[in-house]
Structure 1
Amino acid sequence: MRVANVLPRYLRRGGMIMLVALLPITANAETASEADADAVDESAAPASLLDERLEAASPRLARFYALHGGLPVWQDRAAVTTLVELLEALEGDGLDPADYRPERLAREAEAALDPAASEAARMRFDLDASRTLLDALTQLQRGRLDPRDVYPDWEIPVAPPRLDLVGIERAIADGDVETVLALARPEGEEYAGLKRALTRYRHIAGLGGWPMLPARQVPLRPGDVDEDVALLRRRLAMVGELEVMAADVTHYLPNHPDIALESPGQHRYDDTLAAAVRRFQRRHMLAEDGVIGPNTRAALNVPARGRIETLRANLERARWLSGKRSGWRLEVDLAGQRLDYHRPNGERWGARVIVGQPGRASPVLRSEITYLTLNPTWTVPPTIMREDVLPAVRRDLDYLAEHDMEAIDPQGRRLDPEAIDWQRPGAVMLRQRAGPRNPLGRLVLRFPNDHLVYLHDTPARGLFHRPQRALSSGCIRVENVAELTRLLIEDSGSRIALDRRIASGVTDNVSLARPVPLTLHYWTAEGEADGLASFRPDVYGRDAALIAALADAPAS
């Protein structure tokens, strides 16, 4: 093939290689003009075919070739083998290799690299292979799907991709598939844990999955002797709880042929098994009582294939959120019902939270905590006013006094409750006075958003001990919120005498010296260090749409 003159031609055109190297990398698919480039006259001089096509290519594709010296990339079978292996390896990240058509590329390579193939056919294949690679790596880094196509209410922008094209080009030249993927893959333990769990659960599914526990009227409890206990042992052993297995010479776990399951004690629900069940319950946000009731049985009976789809969905969410999640930040996992504060000094502080109930879901968003409200009053939001409070007031006007509420007009002026037609109250609002009975407690953390939600204290602290806490009307109640606030004040360089000002009982808004980055997100799975995963109830029913969209997405 005659390609020796390609680089000099670029240089003679005014240093185009230097120009394209400085162009930004974009997240968009390759432009229509790239497809039109295939219309180049096949009778053109072979040395000009690639650079003529690149003149109509996207900046990202042009830069990729510039880094390769302006020469074709996929003109030998070893390079094509590397490309096919790379695309097939995307399965380990929860992507479907078929979306990138590696088998088709392999077939086209055979035709394009045939000695009888035209130079135009070779260049056409080369560009198509490179576009496929860059699309695949961009989707590995930032997501296969646009989140707004799945969730119309999605508010967190996906960061532009930042592909290390220099490192990628070098790794391709070395045939180093794993390095290419590592350079594009989202960073952080969160993504890595999900990826490890996906590998483990796929292995389990490949072994046939775990046994299903039959429905029963009476819960299975520690101390019971029952035939279902043997199934329970096998079920937990499949995810690594090997100590629950009892030895015998007749029945072995498929992936552990050296460990037998049948024994005289296999049907007894002993302490070791109960401890393993409680660990399972903890990982699935269930009451940690060791009892196999309906909820625990349902979680145990989700097939391994179902868990795999959940992990794939959460890997896609992780790609959407990658690129801007390092350093000082506060994150709330709405499905996991937990808050994590990543301090500037590297420490991590966590707390349980109460989030919106189904039908009044807390939103997924990104914002900044800018100020605090001390000793807040509470103006009843429209939905709660309409669905909860007005019906109670209509039944008994004393409800207002019993809950320290006052009626006000839109200007905040007090109104006489006796003079209001509560069947048609119009613009009347209700405000609860500050105090120990106020549902916001003594402290609110405010951040700009269109949903009128915030993080706040609560007088009902006993609710934090429930395993599942989707109980609010959309706002997020934080356990130990005063301790969190002290850390935010310290880390933001603010000077606020928090305890003294709360003790005064005066309602007051206080700005932080520096806003604190905040993300509310939604994870229904989390990888653990040993390859297991924690699975959370999909309280807002968001997984099904994402799983379906991943299955239906058109090939790149």
Structure 2
Amino acid sequence: MKWVSLGILTMLLSGTLHSIHNAAIGYSSVPIDDNLSDIFPVDTFIARFVNEMATKEVLKLAGEKVYSNAVIASIYEEAGYAPLWQLERNRMDLENILESAYYEGLNPKDYHLEVITNYNSLSRVYKNRKAVHAAMADLLMTDAILSYTHHLIHGKVDQKDLSPNWDYSMQPTDARKKFDLPKALKQNALHQFVDSARSHLPFYDKLKHLFIEYDSIQKAGGQLPEIKYPGRSLKPGDTIPSVSLLKQRLKADAYTIDSINEVFDKELESALMSFQSLNGLPPDGIAGRKTYQALNLSLSERLNILRANMERVRWINYDYPDEFILINIASYQLQMIKGNEVKFECRVVVGKEHTQTPVFFSYIRYIVFNPSWHIPYSIASEEILPKLKTDKHYLQNRNMLLMRGSSEVNPMSIDFTKYTNTNFPYSIIQEASASNALGKVKFIMPNKYSVYLHDTPSKSLFKRIDRAFSHGCIRLEKPFQLAELLLQEQGYDLAAIQEIIDSKKPKTVVLNKGMPTLIIYMTCNENLKNRQAIFYNDIYGLDKELLNGLNTSR
């Protein structure tokens, strides 16, 4: 029991806090005459509060904010404004459920837990509670469970408030998640009511279980010791004191290390490779700067990463199709998944921090071989125009055409110094060629961002650990293999695809069935091959702002 809040609530029950509530700034409070508070039944006060909610954006009850909510109003209207939470078992179940919100990465305080807990404690002492206070508590409990289940389904933070580049539209509440709260309370089935709202995607449970594991270590006083980067990479065969510290650190993180000494042996190499694999790093068994950065993530940082990604899973809270393409921006990886197994995977290059690849769902509808590139205006006016001012042969040397509408223009006849990135009147097309920025194939999935997947002549970038180099579109390490998988049922194999490429003529092939494609941003994700969680670098720095939203009180 929280005794400070218990004292406050005792004052509330005695009527001494009404003047404080009435003085609350910025919210509608509910003035009640204590001399009349015992004359009317609970139903009367519930009806009054519900009616006030219809005219006020925010109502304050017992010091807690209740936002105008049509669902709350309809539930009480259908119940004839009778209280819903008379049974003690339902109230106790509610307390347990709200306390467990912490393990969903949410804040139990957002759901009036303190007031509800203290009200229930006092209800065992004061059998004859004032009707007005019983009405307040009933509404707060209803608001708590509805707000919590809403957050479990759709997330607490509005993704569009964080970035315009996120476009997973809010999913409708399907039949298994209907807010039939009165029925759940009548059947003492509150836990089932909440379970139906929780994400059913398998990885959500993986994140939650990992959160519970790290949280239990932290609460038991455990910690992961920080180790200083020795100034150079450590590799097999090294014999220096830093090797001993590295072994101690990996052992603290439950990796198998039997001998703590200064020798970089096979045991350390194996443990290090396992750690690197689980942290989105190339498993080369060499302890470089990025490996040390990953090792020095504290338990608190890991818990926050898990919280941020549980929220992201809630944003896409619907069942994946049986077969689909999954692109995780943060892991620089594309996977084709069928039956929850990886059928194909390859590395990708994604957008730079200031030209981020957006997050959305679409279908790959068709594939273009030997494509030309209609260069976006922003690139043409901001990147190519300055080069044209000093080199009019720039376009010709790159198989690019200068266009005015549908007509080709000779760049040698243009004074490019007259134009800026705000009045450049031309468009630029790069024709199909070995140097074409789109390579030899592109995959079109309709979306408002004009983002697509494509080949690239810059193959060396796929060897990099960090692969955020594009203007937003996604470059593929193995585009022809992906094309073969998408078109194999239509009679195309690699040989047929190569024949099209060799013709050097543009060819568009429409897929008989669109391939569902999910572009996500997960800084912790599941390795579908071994079912372990992998942590990735937050390349766009999005975790911090998301966590700020999760930590902000309702």
Which TM class, normalised by the smaller chain length? 0.7 to 0.9
- 8 Å CA contact 1:368, 1:515 repeated in 2: yes
TM-score for the superposition, normalised by structure 1: 0.79
The match for 2:310 is 315
Match of residue 408 from structure 1? 403
**Which residue in 2 is equivalent to 1:257?**
none
For structure 2, the 5+ residue unaligned runs are: 1-27, 55-67
* Structure-to-structure mapping, 1:214-229, within 5 angstroms: 214-229=228-243
Alignment of 1:92-131 (within 5 A): 92-112=103-123, 114-131=126-143
Which of 208, 214, 218 pairs up with 1:201? 214
- Structure 1 residue ranges without an equivalent (≥5): 1-33, 247-264
RMSD of aligned alpha carbons: 3.7
SS at match of 1:277: helix
User: Hey, what does 2:518 align to over in structure 1?
Assistant: 519
> 1:343-382 residue pairs with structure 2 within 5 A?
343=338, 348-382=343-377
Shift of 1:420: 2.1
- State the AA in 2 paired with 1:214: K
Distance 1:304 1:481, change over 3 A: same
AA at the equivalent of 2:200: E
1:78 partnered with 2:89: yes
The structure-2 alpha-carbon separation of the partners of 1:221 and 1:500, relative to structure 1 and needing over 3 Å to count, comes to: closer
Aligned length: 502
Q: What does residue 451 of structure 1 align with?
A: 449
Letter in 2 for 1:465: K
C-alpha distance after superposition, 1:407-428 (max 9, x if no partner): 22232x2222321223335323
The offset of 1:520, in angstroms, is 1.9
After alignment, is 465-474 or 48-57 more displaced?
A: 48-57
Alignment-derived partner of residue 533 in structure 2? 533
SS of the residue corresponding to residue 414 of structure 1 reads strand
Normalised to the residue count of structure 2, the TM-score between the two structures is 0.79
Specify the SS of the correspondent of 2:405.
Answer: coil
2:412 alignment partner AA:
E
C-alpha distance in 1, partners of 2:135/2:41?
12
Deviations 1:517-544 (A, max 9, x none): 3332211111458896312111112111
Match of residue 172 from structure 2: 160
Match of 2:252 in 1: 238
Q: Distance in 1 between matches of 2:148 and 2:225?
A: 36
Which residue in the other structure is 1:188 paired with?
Answer: 201
**Closer, same or farther in 2 for the Cα pair 1:350/1:41, shift >3 Å?**
farther
Partner of 1:428: 426
Following superposition of structure 1 onto structure 2, how do residues 475-486 of structure 1 map, counting pairs within 5 Å? 475-486=473-484
Aligned partners of 2:230 and 2:242 also within 8 Å: no
Give 1:91's aligned amino acid.
Y
- 1:535–1:489 distance in 2 versus 1, CA, 3 Å: same
Asked if 1:275 corresponds to 2:270, the answer is yes
How far residue 447 of structure 1 moved from its aligned partner, in angstroms, is 2.5
- Return the alpha-carbon distance in structure 1 between the equivalents of residues 46 and 296 of structure 2: 56
Query: Which residue of the partner structure matches residue 101 of structure 2?
Result: 90
Aligned in 2, Cα 1:347/1:312: closer, same or farther, shift over 3 Å? closer
- Give the CA deviation at 1:143: 0.5
Q: Is the deviation greater in 205-214 or in 268-277?
A: 205-214
Alignment of 1:251-330 (within 5 A): 265-323=260-318, 325-330=320-325
- CA distance 1:118–1:203, change in 2 (3 Å): closer
Deviation at 1:336, TM superposition (A): 1.3
Q: Do 1:234 and 1:245's aligned partners in 2 also have CA atoms closer than 8 Å? A: no
The one-letter code sitting in structure 1 at the alignment partner of 2:133 is: A
Q: What code does the residue aligned with 1:195 have?
A: K
Q: How far apart are residue 132 of structure 1 and its match?
A: 0.7
Task: Give the one of 199, 206, 212 matched to 2:226.
Answer: 212
Q: Write the letter of the residue equivalent to 1:96.
A: N
- Please give the per-residue CA displacement for 1:65-109, whole angstroms capped at 9, x wherever unaligned: 799999744324433221111101111111111222312111123
Relative distance call for 1:386 and 1:348 in structure 2 (3 A) is: same
Give the Cα–Cα distance (whole angstroms) in 2 for the partners of residues 301 and 469 of structure 1: 22
- Quote how far apart the aligned CAs of 1:176 are: 6.9
Measured in 1, the distance between the counterparts of 2:486 and 2:187 equals 48
Distance 2:31 2:509 in 1: 59
The residue type paired with residue 362 of structure 2 is: S
Shift of 1:181: 4.0
How far has the Cα of 1:345 moved from its partner?
Answer: 10
Q: Compared with structure 1, are the counterparts of its residues 223 and 433 closer, same or farther at alpha carbon in structure 2 (3 Å cutoff)?
A: same
Residues 43 and 135 in structure 2, CA contact (< 8 A), matched pair in contact too: no
What is the alpha-carbon distance in structure 2 between the residues aligned to residue 102 and residue 515 of structure 1? 47
Q: Percent identity?
A: 28
SS in 1 for 2:428: strand
Instruction: Decide whether aligned partners of structure 1 residues 298 and 343 sit closer, same or farther in structure 2, where only a CA change above 3 A counts.
Output: closer
68 and 503 in structure 1: CA distance in 2 versus 1, 3 angstrom threshold: farther
Secondary structure of 1:184's match?
coil
Given that 1:50 and 1:72 are in contact with CA atoms closer than 8 Å, whether structure 2 keeps it comes out as: yes
Write the deviation string for residues 471-507 of structure 1: whole angstroms up to 9, x where unpaired.
222110123223323333457x799975554443222
CA distance in 2, matches of 1:52, 1:382: 58
Please name the residue that 2:543 is paired with: 543
Equivalent residues of 2:215, 2:303 under 8 A apart? yes
CA contact (8 A) 1:283 1:534 kept: yes
Deviates more, 1:343-352 or 1:516-525: 343-352
Q: Name the structure 1 match of 2:147.
A: 135
